[in-house]
Structure 1
Amino acid sequence: MVDALGRAGAHEVVIGMAHRGRLNVLTNVMGKPFEALFAEFEGHHDAADENATGDVKYHMGYMGSRTVDGREVKLRLMPNPSHLEVVNPV
């Protein structure tokens, strides 16, 4: 899908989804390194990361990019906060 959109001229693809399948999308579609994903599950993350909400790791968003026919397509996976955080934000 990302490749087809890039060939059609898209510069950015924004993805919104529930948590089921997010780890797969983060690594295989968005290009997030497995090492970074595993480090987050061990409690290590960049303090400046705007997605570090304290929510569960697979609810966080991510920004990446892919090259399609020599052009960069920016990718953005939107955060999916837990229902408790939405109802009663800290």
Structure 2
Amino acid sequence: MKKTITAYCFASGHIDFGASLPEGAIALAVGEEKTVRDVVSVNARLSRVDNETLFVPGVPEAASQREGITAVAHFIQRLALSNQAGFRALGA
């Protein structure tokens, strides 16, 4: 059986992965670990600081929380284009 994980982000737009959703995080997608990591990583943007940390595109640059949550919604819609066995975008 393949390991199931959730991709999630925080208000900063920082994306992380785990077996459970931390308090205050927004769930982005769920599914088989490799597939979730691959799909989310391809669609996310890299940090300009370390070139490794993943962010939801548009959230770090958002001028308001409204713009940030809109960027998260658009990101989830983009992830939903990759829905398949072993991967499902949440809220899409």
TM-score by length of 1: 0.28
Greater RCO structure (CA 8 Å; 6+ sep): 1
- TM-score normalised per structure 2: 0.28
Q: Which has the higher strand share?
A: 2
